[in-house]
Amino acid sequence: MKNLIVGTAGHIDHGKTSLVRALTGIDTDRLEEEKRRGITIDIGFAHLESGDYRMGFIDVPGHEKFVKNMLAGIGGVHLLLLIVAADESVMPQTLEHLQICQLLDIPRGLVVVTKKSLVEEELLSLVEEEIRDLTQGTFLEDAPILAVDSIEGDGIPELLEAIEKEAGRIDRDRLTFDATNRIFRLPIDRVFSIRGFGTVITGTTLWGQLTRDHLVGVYPSRKVAKVRGIEVFNSSNKSALPGQRTAVNLSNVDKKDLGRGMTLSIPQIPEPTYALDASVRVLKNAPGPLRNRAPVRIHHGSAEVIGRIRLLDSQTLEPGQAGMVQLRIDSPLLCFPGDHLILRRYSPLTTVGGGIVLDNSPRKHRKSELPRLLAHLTSLEQSMKGSSDKWGSSLCELIVATAGSTGVNSKELVARTGFSETYIKEVLPSISSLRVVPQEPLLAVHRDSCKALKSEIVQVLSRYHEAKPLGPGFSKEELKKRLLPGGTPAYFQFMLGELEQAKAIEVDGKHVRLHGHRVDLNVEQEKIKEEILTLIRQSGFKIISLDETIERVGKHSRGAREVAYHLLSTGQLVRISDSLVLTQDLLDQLAEGLRKEFPEGQTFTVPEFKNLFSISRKYAIPLLEFLDRQRITSRSGDKRKVFDHSQAS
């Protein structure tokens, strides 16, 4: 069966609860005070199976003091019943509720005139005319208007038939997309305990799928709970889908840690925010303009938070105007691009407008950034007007495009968009403007950012070779720290690999250089090279330090240090310790002498080594430690032997 959430809206005492009872047989007024006073105070719930549909009804309070409660339940509605009493016609809360539903972008609806038996036919016609005037320019402009008597049942069968007909016009593709390609999400509207079961929450499942025995995250606290049981429309079920009124029995979380305004979602990945960028519109009949830095009450899902509004493209938004804003809020909120917001004045409590979340992870914006930012936010808003699948790819593309050279990984995109990681991994390769880096989690980078990073790498290497023509190349580690400090090693290696493949660079161990770059010593440098090698060879195993070598040669030759480091990088000099060096041929002599003197695994001591090569302990110990590291010798206690490579293999 197809799932559908039907919501009521309208002025107090216009018969919303009675109508739901007439349709479903369920009294949605559950509180003792509601029954005593005869008015709805909090949201109530009922359900009905009819034709191809399994419907959940959300009955909302109509009194102006309880608009906050009305907003907690109306967010997940697919089809609205705007209810107007025939004996009172359009009233203040009729207008405010309709404006709220218009701002929430509820897709379909119809108008129900209740208490028809209390008025004459002529007056009923006048009420319908007033309703047409009220709904002009809204999503209910062409909606059917049906008159009923909830007590007598007159018109109820026709209303149910009309509900099913309107339900058939709802875009089911969007609902299917949200079920299969978005993460699980359920705003909590009730919390209670049942003896023998423990903590239970209820809400309307908006996205994804919830399965029994799985883990869920409670936001904004980020606590993790286990799903012990699920009820859908008051019946036990293994899973819950979008469009279903859902009760979830949770373990590992206490009732006191839950409340209306919180959200269930997948664990760990989503990030609650203290700021969001949004497109907002001020109602035409708002009591005044929306001013920069004004405090506002922000309603999102079942939550209400207090925030301040920063207008990004003006100093005020007059009634009827729209603009881009950043909302900075005093308590964290879990929201995603495309979510709807209702804005109410801090005091007195009146609805002033609404908006759509464009970015759930913005920075504080500098004035100099605003032109570029506004273009980006406009693009985000436009992307939401396409089909679900097109919107998903456009949203990912725009987020990655603004991330720069570090890119955005698939888990970050889940947190930024609300799309599932499976969907994101499927859609990223199809976006031609992006490069997908094969790492875990998958990384997406805009092609322009990749191109800019590669250009920077080549420029840095060019400057390096110009400044240090004898250098072995730029340190790979330092290159990453300089150009990609926030990037992963896998991503940086991916970029280097592409540059190597394009024959732009060469990677040699720990160093990177331009492709084809070779060190050619000039006549003077060749002379210095020979002086350094000769001095070290003449010193033999009475080793001269590198600094002393450079100092002695450099007294009459500039550039001795640079040439010495070149010899180290090319292996013509070998560093024995931090300060000591030898030529490779001297090391070969050392190894060969040991093999001749101590053949077939014969051990030797430090004094025997000193005597063999006529060197002091000062140099013998560093030399032996070097030979150990190179696995030319192996040490056991106070003795060593020449390493037998044939046995090692």
Element (H, E) at 540: none
Lowest mean pLDDT among 178-192, 297-311, 408-422, 519-533: 519-533
| Mean pLDDT value of segment 556-571 | 77
pLDDT band at 648 (very low <50, low <70, confident <90, very high): very low
| Mean pLDDT value of segment 10-24 | 92
523-648 has the same fold as 386-520: yes
Q: What angle do CA 629, 635, 636 make, to 5 degrees?
A: 150
Residue 343 has pLDDT above 70, yes or no: yes
Fold of 386-520: Arc Repressor Mutant, subunit A (1.10.10)
Between CA 161 and CA 261 the distance in angstroms is: 34
Between CA 104 and CA 455 the distance in angstroms is: 46
| Mean pLDDT value of segment 14-26 | 92
**What are the CA-CA distances from residue 509 to residues 83, 267, 346 (Å)?**
75, 41, 63
Residue 109 has pLDDT above 60, yes or no: yes
pLDDT band at 521 (very low <50, low <70, confident <90, very high): confident
| Mean pLDDT value of segment 96-100 | 93
State which of 189-198, 222-231, 464-473, 629-638 shows the largest mean pLDDT.
222-231
pLDDT score recorded for residue 649: 41
pLDDT band at 141 (very low <50, low <70, confident <90, very high): very high
pTM of the model: 0.81
> Which overall architecture, per CATH, does domain 2-170 show?
3-Layer(aba) Sandwich (3.40)
Q: Which two tokens stand for residue 165?
A: 């007909």
Report the SS3 class of residue 9: strand
Element (H, E) at 640: strand 639-642
DSSP code string of 569-598: HTTSEEESSSSBEEEHHHHHHHHHHHHHHS
Whether residue 341 contacts residue 354, with contact meaning beta carbons closer than 8 Å, is answered with yes
In percent, the amount of the chain with pLDDT more than 90 equals 61
**Residue count of the chain:** 649
Residue 423 has pLDDT above 80, yes or no: yes
Between CA 362 and CA 521 the distance in angstroms is: 53
Closest to 472 (Cα-Cα) out of 558, 551, 571: 571
DSSP code string of 448-493: HHHHHHHHHHHHHHHHHHHH-TT---EEHHHHHHHH-TTS-HHHHH
Residue 348 has pLDDT above 80, yes or no: yes
Residue 647 has pLDDT above 60, yes or no: no
Tell me the average pLDDT of the chain. Answer: 90
Whether residue 297 contacts residue 306, with contact meaning beta carbons closer than 8 Å, is answered with yes
Fold of 273-373: Elongation Factor Tu (Ef-tu); domain 3 (2.40.30)
Report the relative pairing of strands 263-265 and 185-194 from DSSP bridges. Answer: antiparallel
Q: Which amino acid is at 100?
A: I
Whether residue 352 contacts residue 286, with contact meaning beta carbons closer than 8 Å, is answered with yes
Lowest mean pLDDT among 44-58, 135-149, 550-564: 550-564
Fold of 175-265: Elongation Factor Tu (Ef-tu); domain 3 (2.40.30)
| Mean pLDDT value of segment 321-334 | 96
Strand order from edge to edge, sheet including 511-514 = 474-475, 511-514, 505-508
User: What are 564-617's pLDDT values in tens digits?
Assistant: 877 887 778 888 887 888 888 898 888 889 989 998 778 999 999 989 998 888
Going from N- to C-terminal start, the domains of the chain cover 2-170, 175-265, 273-373, 386-520, 523-648
Between CA 350 and CA 357 the distance in angstroms is: 21
**Gyration radius from the chain CA atoms:** 37
User: What are 228-271's pLDDT values in tens digits?
Assistant: 999 998 899 999 999 899 999 999 999 999 999 999 999 999 99
Q: What angle do CA 548, 551, 555 make, to 5 degrees?
A: 150
Strand order from edge to edge, sheet including 408-409 = 408-409, 443-446, 434-437
Whether residue 310 contacts residue 325, with contact meaning beta carbons closer than 8 Å, is answered with yes
| Mean pLDDT value of segment 128-151 | 95
Q: Which residue has the higher pLDDT, 617 or 470?
A: 617
In b/e form, how buried is each residue of 249-283, taking b as 16+ CB within 10 angstroms? bbeebeeeebebbbbbbbbeebbbbebbbbbbbbb
Chain centroid to Cα 571, Å, comes to: 48
Between CA 413 and CA 400 the distance in angstroms is: 9
pLDDT band at 644 (very low <50, low <70, confident <90, very high): low
| Mean pLDDT value of segment 85-100 | 93
pLDDT band at 34 (very low <50, low <70, confident <90, very high): low
Between CA 10 and CA 376 the distance in angstroms is: 38
| Mean pLDDT value of segment 149-154 | 94
Closest to 399 (Cα-Cα) out of 356, 340, 358: 358
Report the relative pairing of strands 295-300 and 273-282 from DSSP bridges. Answer: unpaired
Report the SS3 class of residue 66: helix
Report the SS3 class of residue 139: coil
Q: Which amino acid is at 217?
A: G
Q: Which two tokens stand for residue 393?
A: 């790819």
User: What are 54-76's pLDDT values in tens digits?
Assistant: 999 998 887 777 778 888 878 88
Q: Is 501 exposed, middle or buried (0-12, 13-18, 19+ CB in 10 A)?
A: exposed
**What are the CA-CA distances from residue 401 to residues 394, 427, 439, 448, 486 (Å)?**
10, 15, 19, 8, 16
Neighbours of 77 (CB within 10 A): 26
DSSP code string of 180-224: HHB--EEEEEEEEEETTTEEEEEEE--BS-EETT-EEEEETTTEE
Report the SS3 class of residue 6: strand
| Mean pLDDT value of segment 365-377 | 90
Between CA 84 and CA 11 the distance in angstroms is: 7
pLDDT score recorded for residue 324: 96
Q: Is 596 exposed, middle or buried (0-12, 13-18, 19+ CB in 10 A)?
A: exposed
Q: Which two tokens stand for residue 485?
A: 């400090």
User: What are 213-233's pLDDT values in tens digits?
Assistant: 999 999 999 999 999 999 998
pLDDT score recorded for residue 318: 95
Residue 528 has pLDDT above 90, yes or no: no
**What are the CA-CA distances from residue 480 to residues 454, 483, 491 (Å)?**
12, 5, 10
> Which overall architecture, per CATH, does domain 523-648 show?
Orthogonal Bundle (1.10)
